[in-house]
Amino acid sequence: MSTNRVEIIRATTIANNDMNKQLSALYEVNWELLRKTANKYEAQGYELATPYLLATTNAYASAKIRVMCLGKETMGWGGEFTDQPTIKELQQLYALYIHQEGGNDAAFHRFVGWLSSLSPDVEVIPNNIIKIGKKSTNGYYKVVADELHSVTHILKEEISILKPSVIICPTSNLYDYNQPLTELLGEYT
Protein backbone atom coordinates (compact mmCIF):
# COMPACT_ATOMS: atom_id res chain seq x y z
CA MET A 1 0.00 0.00 0.00
CA SER A 2 1.27 3.42 -0.85
CA THR A 3 2.29 5.86 1.85
CA ASN A 4 -0.26 8.26 0.40
CA ARG A 5 -3.12 5.78 1.07
CA VAL A 6 -1.96 5.23 4.67
CA GLU A 7 -1.81 9.01 5.14
CA ILE A 8 -5.39 9.28 3.81
CA ILE A 9 -6.53 6.62 6.28
CA ARG A 10 -4.76 8.32 9.17
CA ALA A 11 -6.33 11.66 8.18
CA THR A 12 -9.85 10.19 8.07
CA THR A 13 -12.07 11.49 10.83
CA ILE A 14 -14.44 9.23 12.68
CA ALA A 15 -17.64 10.66 14.14
CA ASN A 16 -17.34 11.91 17.69
CA ASN A 17 -20.40 10.17 19.11
CA ASP A 18 -21.05 8.03 22.19
CA MET A 19 -21.19 4.82 20.16
CA ASN A 20 -17.69 5.36 18.76
CA LYS A 21 -16.37 6.25 22.20
CA GLN A 22 -17.85 3.00 23.58
CA LEU A 23 -16.48 0.99 20.64
CA SER A 24 -13.00 2.45 21.14
CA ALA A 25 -13.15 1.58 24.84
CA LEU A 26 -14.29 -1.97 24.01
CA TYR A 27 -11.42 -2.44 21.58
CA GLU A 28 -8.92 -0.95 24.01
CA VAL A 29 -9.93 -3.45 26.71
CA ASN A 30 -9.69 -6.37 24.24
CA TRP A 31 -6.73 -5.21 22.12
CA GLU A 32 -4.13 -7.31 23.92
CA LEU A 33 -6.32 -10.43 23.65
CA LEU A 34 -6.85 -9.85 19.91
CA ARG A 35 -3.16 -9.20 19.21
CA LYS A 36 -1.98 -12.08 21.44
CA THR A 37 -4.33 -14.50 19.67
CA ALA A 38 -3.28 -13.24 16.23
CA ASN A 39 0.44 -13.21 17.10
CA LYS A 40 0.26 -16.82 18.29
CA TYR A 41 -0.95 -17.98 14.89
CA GLU A 42 1.20 -15.61 12.86
CA ALA A 43 4.22 -17.17 14.62
CA GLN A 44 3.01 -20.54 13.29
CA GLY A 45 3.01 -19.24 9.71
CA TYR A 46 -0.62 -18.14 9.31
CA GLU A 47 -1.09 -14.81 7.53
CA LEU A 48 -3.89 -13.03 9.36
CA ALA A 49 -5.68 -9.80 8.63
CA THR A 50 -5.78 -7.10 11.26
CA PRO A 51 -8.83 -7.08 13.56
CA TYR A 52 -12.00 -5.64 12.01
CA LEU A 53 -12.86 -2.66 14.22
CA LEU A 54 -16.04 -0.68 13.60
CA ALA A 55 -16.80 3.04 13.61
CA THR A 56 -20.29 4.50 13.29
CA THR A 57 -21.51 7.61 11.55
CA ASN A 58 -23.62 10.22 13.29
CA ALA A 59 -26.43 9.23 10.89
CA TYR A 60 -26.33 5.64 12.22
CA ALA A 61 -26.20 6.83 15.83
CA SER A 62 -29.39 8.88 15.36
CA ALA A 63 -31.21 6.62 12.86
CA LYS A 64 -34.81 5.50 13.35
CA ILE A 65 -33.97 2.05 12.00
CA ARG A 66 -30.50 0.61 12.54
CA VAL A 67 -29.49 -2.50 10.62
CA MET A 68 -26.38 -4.54 11.31
CA CYS A 69 -25.44 -6.56 8.27
CA LEU A 70 -23.32 -9.38 9.63
CA GLY A 71 -20.98 -10.96 7.10
CA LYS A 72 -18.86 -14.06 7.52
CA GLU A 73 -15.25 -12.92 7.58
CA THR A 74 -12.92 -10.08 6.73
CA MET A 75 -11.83 -10.91 3.14
CA GLY A 76 -8.24 -9.79 3.68
CA TRP A 77 -9.21 -6.76 5.74
CA GLY A 78 -6.45 -4.50 6.96
CA GLY A 79 -3.83 -5.40 4.39
CA GLU A 80 -3.49 -1.65 3.89
CA PHE A 81 -0.90 -1.40 6.65
CA THR A 82 2.62 -2.78 6.59
CA ASP A 83 3.21 -1.88 10.24
CA GLN A 84 1.05 -2.64 13.26
CA PRO A 85 -1.93 -0.27 13.09
CA THR A 86 -3.49 1.26 16.18
CA ILE A 87 -7.11 0.89 17.23
CA LYS A 88 -7.79 4.43 16.04
CA GLU A 89 -6.19 3.74 12.64
CA LEU A 90 -8.31 0.60 12.17
CA GLN A 91 -11.45 2.54 13.02
CA GLN A 92 -10.35 5.26 10.59
CA LEU A 93 -9.76 2.60 7.92
CA TYR A 94 -13.25 1.22 8.55
CA ALA A 95 -14.76 4.73 8.34
CA LEU A 96 -12.97 5.42 5.06
CA TYR A 97 -13.58 2.01 3.50
CA ILE A 98 -17.20 1.50 4.52
CA HIS A 99 -18.70 4.94 5.00
CA GLN A 100 -16.83 6.95 2.38
CA GLU A 101 -15.87 4.39 -0.26
CA GLY A 102 -18.76 1.94 0.22
CA GLY A 103 -16.60 -1.17 0.54
CA ASN A 104 -15.63 -3.22 -2.48
CA ASP A 105 -17.72 -4.80 -5.23
CA ALA A 106 -18.30 -8.06 -3.33
CA ALA A 107 -21.89 -9.29 -3.11
CA PHE A 108 -21.92 -8.49 0.61
CA HIS A 109 -21.08 -4.81 0.02
CA ARG A 110 -23.55 -4.55 -2.85
CA PHE A 111 -26.21 -5.95 -0.49
CA VAL A 112 -25.24 -3.42 2.21
CA GLY A 113 -25.48 -0.63 -0.37
CA TRP A 114 -28.90 -1.84 -1.48
CA LEU A 115 -30.16 -2.00 2.13
CA SER A 116 -28.85 1.52 2.72
CA SER A 117 -30.80 2.82 -0.27
CA LEU A 118 -34.19 1.49 0.88
CA SER A 119 -35.20 4.42 3.04
CA PRO A 120 -33.70 7.58 4.53
CA ASP A 121 -34.81 6.18 7.91
CA VAL A 122 -32.54 3.13 7.53
CA GLU A 123 -28.84 3.19 8.37
CA VAL A 124 -26.73 0.07 7.91
CA ILE A 125 -23.49 -0.88 9.60
CA PRO A 126 -21.52 -3.83 8.18
CA ASN A 127 -19.81 -6.21 10.59
CA ASN A 128 -18.33 -9.73 10.56
CA ILE A 129 -18.79 -12.89 12.60
CA ILE A 130 -15.08 -13.69 12.39
CA LYS A 131 -13.15 -10.59 13.53
CA ILE A 132 -9.80 -11.73 12.09
CA GLY A 133 -9.61 -13.51 8.72
CA LYS A 134 -6.91 -14.33 6.19
CA LYS A 135 -4.68 -11.42 5.21
CA SER A 136 -4.63 -11.74 1.45
CA THR A 137 -7.64 -13.83 0.48
CA ASN A 138 -11.18 -14.83 1.39
CA GLY A 139 -11.97 -17.19 4.23
CA TYR A 140 -10.35 -17.96 7.51
CA TYR A 141 -8.16 -20.67 8.93
CA LYS A 142 -10.31 -23.26 10.70
CA VAL A 143 -7.67 -23.90 13.37
CA VAL A 144 -7.43 -20.18 14.08
CA ALA A 145 -11.21 -19.67 14.06
CA ASP A 146 -11.62 -22.23 16.84
CA GLU A 147 -9.53 -20.05 19.13
CA LEU A 148 -10.94 -16.82 17.74
CA HIS A 149 -14.32 -17.94 19.01
CA SER A 150 -12.85 -16.87 22.36
CA VAL A 151 -13.10 -13.26 21.13
CA THR A 152 -16.69 -13.46 19.85
CA HIS A 153 -17.75 -11.68 23.03
CA ILE A 154 -16.49 -8.56 21.22
CA LEU A 155 -19.22 -9.01 18.60
CA LYS A 156 -21.83 -9.41 21.33
CA GLU A 157 -20.64 -6.19 22.98
CA GLU A 158 -20.60 -4.39 19.61
CA ILE A 159 -24.25 -5.38 19.19
CA SER A 160 -25.02 -4.08 22.68
CA ILE A 161 -23.32 -0.74 21.91
CA LEU A 162 -24.75 -0.30 18.39
CA LYS A 163 -28.29 -1.38 19.31
CA PRO A 164 -29.39 -2.51 15.85
CA SER A 165 -33.14 -2.79 15.27
CA VAL A 166 -32.42 -5.90 13.22
CA ILE A 167 -29.40 -8.05 12.41
CA ILE A 168 -29.27 -9.54 8.92
CA CYS A 169 -26.82 -12.38 8.30
CA PRO A 170 -26.48 -13.01 4.56
CA THR A 171 -24.25 -16.03 5.15
CA SER A 172 -24.25 -19.57 3.89
CA ASN A 173 -25.47 -22.53 5.91
CA LEU A 174 -21.94 -23.64 6.64
CA TYR A 175 -21.58 -24.92 10.17
CA ASP A 176 -18.34 -22.97 10.62
CA TYR A 177 -20.20 -19.66 10.52
CA ASN A 178 -23.45 -20.66 12.17
CA GLN A 179 -21.78 -22.24 15.21
CA PRO A 180 -20.25 -19.00 16.57
CA LEU A 181 -23.45 -17.11 15.73
CA THR A 182 -25.63 -19.59 17.59
CA GLU A 183 -23.23 -19.62 20.55
CA LEU A 184 -23.28 -15.86 20.64
CA LEU A 185 -26.90 -15.01 19.90
CA GLY A 186 -28.76 -18.22 20.62
CA GLU A 187 -31.06 -19.83 18.08
CA TYR A 188 -32.06 -17.41 15.37
CA THR A 189 -34.16 -17.33 12.21
- Each residue of 9-28: pLDDT tens digit? 888 889 999 999 999 999 99
3-state secondary structure of 80: coil
pTM, to two decimals: 0.86
Q: What is the mean pLDDT of the chain?
A: 81
pLDDT 10s digits, 44-97: 887 777 788 999 999 999 999 999 998 877 776 766 556 678 899 989 988 888
**Per-residue buried b or exposed e for 38-74, using 16+ beta carbons within 10 Å of the residue's own CB:** beebeeeebebbbbbbbbbbeebbebeebbbbbbbbb
Q: Residue ranges of the alpha helices (H) in the chain?
A: 3-11, 18-42, 58-61, 87-94, 107-116, 142-148, 153-162, 175-185
Question: What confidence tier does 124 reach under pLDDT thresholds 50, 70, 90?
Answer: very high
